[in-house]
Structure 1
Amino acid sequence: MPDGLGVMSSFISIISFMSSLFPDSPGSNSAMRLGIGLNEGAGGNVPEVTVFNANYENIGCGRGNFVDLEVHQTSNQQPLNVELEQPQNDGICLAYATHTWPDGHQYGWVGDWGAFCGADSYETQVVVDDSGITTQCVWLDKDSSAGQGSLGLHLWMPASSPERNKGGTEHPAEWYCRHPAIMQFYDTPDATHYTWPPNTRMGGRDIVDGGDVNNSTGASEDRPGRTRSLEIATELVVNYNAAHSAAKLCDSETSFGPDFVSMTEQLACDMGTDTLWPLCNANITIYCFDAEIKALNDGAEQREVESIYEKEDNSGLTFSTHFTYMTTIIPMPGATTTARVKDNSKQIDVTDEETEQIDVNLAKFTAAGERYPASIPVNT
C-alpha cells in the first residue's frame, strides 16, 4: 500500500493510500487517476495532463473522458512534474491525483494540500485511506466564470513521498505552500513554472522561499465576483461527518461550493452569503434552517422545498438535493405521501384578508379526533 503525505491541521501526516486509488501501470507510459469531489455544471470536464522530466522537458501529454488517464510518453523517463489544466469552462473540484510511473513507482496528492495553501476548496466524502480519512477538493476552472478556481495546477509528484530526501515529514505544512516548484496554481497558460531541484537550464525559475502557492502564480488579486452557477446554487449537501464543519466553511475566505448542512454541529452554511444558521428544533423555530424540508425559515414567509432529485451515497453519510422555493403552500387533506403533497400543492398568492376568511371558515368545523385512525399509516 503506497504511503503519502497529508495535512492534519497545520502538521504533516502520513496517508496510507488505498491501492484501489492507483491506476495500473500501462507499460512504457504513465497513468493518472483523478478523484472528483464536485463538478460545476454538466458533468464537468477532465483536465488535460502533461508530464515533464527533471529538466522540465515535455515528455508526454494525455487527455481522457473519465478519471483514469494514460499519459503517452516519448521516453521511459521519470515523469517528475505534472500539469493538470482545465480545458473547458465547466469546472471540477479535484479531490486527489494519483500517479503510476512506467517503472512502477506510485505517488499521490490530496486536495487538502491545496486547501491548506489557500486554493478555493470544498469538503468531500472522498475517502483516501483505509482508516476513513477524507480529503477536501480544490477547484479547477478554465475561465473562473463562477469566481473560483484556477486554470491549472503544477505538481512535483515525489514531494508527496514520506521519504526525507523528496519531501518528508520534517517540513512544516506551510513549507509546501512557499515552494511553487512543488505545488503551483496558475491562471494563465503561459505562467512561468519553477523547477525542483533548482534548475534554470531549460528556462524554469529557481524555487523561491517566500510568498505562497497562489501569489506565485501571478494570479490577479481582483478576482471576479464569486457568483455560483445555477447547478451549485441549487444544490444542498447534508453531512454527518464530525470532521467536516459548516462553521469552518462559512468562515473560510476560500471555500466555494453548494450550501452545506452539518448534522453533527446542527448548523447550516449559506455558501452564497457566508451566513451560518442553526438548524431548527423544538427550541429554535424561526431564523433557522429546517433540515427536514430543506428550507430556510427566516421568520418572514413560509417556503416549501420541491426536490428535483435526492441522492445518497453508499456510505449513508451525505446526500444532495436540488430544490426550488415556493412562496406559499396549502396542505390538502389526504396528502399522506410526498407525491400526493406535490400533486395537491401549487404556488398561489393569498392576501391577508383571504387568510383571515380561511381561519373563520375552519373555525366553523368541529374536530372529531385525529385526521386518520391509528391503523392508517401516514408519512409514507
Structure 2
Amino acid sequence: MASAIGVISGLITIFLFARDELGQDDPPNAVLNFKVGLDGTNPPAGIDGGPLTDAGGNIPDVRLWNENGGFIGITTNDNNNCGSGADVCETKVSDVEQQPTYTLLTGNNDAICLSWAAITFPGGQQYGCPLGNWAQECANNHGGEATWYWSNIFLELEEGGEAPVPCAWVDADGDMPTTGIQIHWPDFSPGTAGDVGTSFYCANNFALRFRFDEDPSTVIRPARRSLEPYENKQYTRLRKRFEKDSRLVKSSVAQHSASELCNAPTSVGPSFVSYAERAFCYMPTKTVYPFCEEDSAGACWSDDDDLVVVKGDARIENVPAMTFNQTLSW
C-alpha cells in the first residue's frame, strides 16, 4: 500500500491506496489518475444543500516540472472526459525522463469535481493527494476560496476503516472559480512534511496551490533564486560575451522551458521567453520571472513591454534594466 497526507476535521490524516489500483508504471510516461465525485451525493444531515450534480467533465490539462523547476512536458485533454463517480480516470504525459515532482492541473470548459489525484512516475514511485479534503479544510478553516462539495468517494484510512472525501471543482469557462491546482507530490508523502500542520497545506504555497487566474501555466517553488555562475574558464568567457546580447528569443514550442534554461549551469545565449511555461529567463543573471498575468505581486515579465517590472506594492531591489533590439520568434 502507498499512503498520502490528508485531513479530517482539522487533523492530519493518512490515507492509503493500493499501488495496483493505479496500474503499472509506463516508462517513459507519467501516469495520472483521478477519482471523480459521485452525482446524487447529498450533504450530511443538518447541512443545507442539494445533491451533487454534473461532477463529471473534462479531464484537466496536465503540466509537469522537475524538482529544480525545469519544465518537463504537457498533455491537453479538451475533448477527453471522465464521468460522475469514475474510480479510475487516467491521463498520461509522454516521454518523461525525469521525476515530475511538480504538477499543475488546469481546467477545461466542462467543469469536473476531483476527489483524489495520484501520479505514477516513470520510475514507479507513486504519490497521491485527496484534493477534496484539502479544498474543504482550506476553505472552511484557513480562508481559502477553492470550491468543493460532498462526493461519497471513499478512501481507506491508515488507522482503519474508510472515510468519504469531498471533491474539488476545477473549470476554465467561469462556471466554477478554481481554474487550476498546483501539487508538489513529495509534500503529501507521510514523513516528508506531514508534521507541519494543516496551515502549511492551506497557505497557497508551493505544496498545494489553488489557482483562480485565467488559464494558469506556471508553478511556484519555495524560493526564486539566481544560479551562481558555473566555474569554468571557457564558460565564463562565453557568458561574458553574451551578457550584453540585445536579442530576445520568444518560443511557443511546448518543450522549450525558460526555467530549465536558467537552471542549467552551462547554458549561454540570449534571454528567453517560454509561452508554454509562461516564464522569462533573464540570462545575464540566470533569473526566472513569471509572466505578470501569473503573479499577483513582485517582479514579473511584461510580455507587452519586453521588460521585468514590479507588480503590486512589493518593493524589489535590483530589478534589471534591459533593452532588446531584436526579437526572434520560434
TM norm structure 2: 0.55
**Count of equivalent residues:** 201
1:54 paired residue number: 67
CA separation of 1:47/1:191 partners in 2, compared to 1, >3 Å: closer, same or farther?
closer
User: Aligned residue for 2:129?
Assistant: 109
Which residue in 1 is equivalent to 2:200? Answer: 175
**Whole-Å separation in 1 of the counterparts to 2:118 and 2:193:** 16
Q: Deviations over 1:125-168 (max 9, x none)?
A: 111226222211111011222xx3311111111111002xx322
Residues of 1 paired with 2:67 and 2:27: CA distance?
20
Give the match's secondary structure for 1:175.
helix
Query: Normalised by the size of structure 1, how large is the TM-score?
Result: 0.49
RMSD: 2.6
Q: 1:150 aligns with which of 178, 185, 199?
A: 178
1:191 positional shift: 6.7
Counterpart check, 1:87 vs 2:115: no
Deviations 1:71-112 (A, max 9, x none): 113x42110000111122x21111000111111111000020
Where do 1:1-380 residues align within 5 Å? 1-37=1-37, 41=54, 43-63=56-76, 65=80, 66=82, 67-73=89-95, 75-88=96-109, 90-110=110-130, 111-118=132-139, 119-129=146-156, 131-145=161-175, 148-163=176-191, 166-168=192-194, 170-187=195-212, 188-190=214-216, 193-196=219-222, 198-201=223-226, 202=259, 203=288
Q: 1: distance between equivalents of 2:20 and 2:152?
A: 16
Checking the alignment, whether the CA contact within 8 Å between 1:192 and 1:204 is kept in structure 2 is no
Q: Which residue of 2 aligns with 1:230?
A: none
- Range 3-12 or range 125-134, more displaced: 125-134
More strand by share: 2
Provide, for residues 253-312 of structure 1, a one-character-per-residue CA deviation record: whole Å limited to 9, x for no partner: xxxxxxxxxxxxxxxxxxxxxxxxxxxxxxxxxxxxxxxxxxxxxxxxxxxxxxxxxxxx
1:18–1:129 contact (8 Å) kept in structure 2:
no
23-32 or 77-86: bigger deviation: 23-32
Quickly say closer, same or farther: Cα 1:42–1:123, change in 2 above 3 A: closer
Q: Cα–Cα, structure 1 residues 81 and 41, in superposed 2: closer, same or farther, change >3 Å?
A: same
User: In the TM superposition, what whole-angstrom CA distance separates every residue of 1:8-43 from its partner, at most 9, and x where no partner exists?
Assistant: 211211112233542321112110001111576595
In structure 2, C-alpha distance between the alignment counterparts of 1:200 and 1:37, rounded to whole Å: 39
* 2:273 corresponds to: none
- CA distance, structure 1, for counterparts of residue 66 and residue 289 of structure 2: 12
Instruction: Tell me the percent identity.
Output: 28
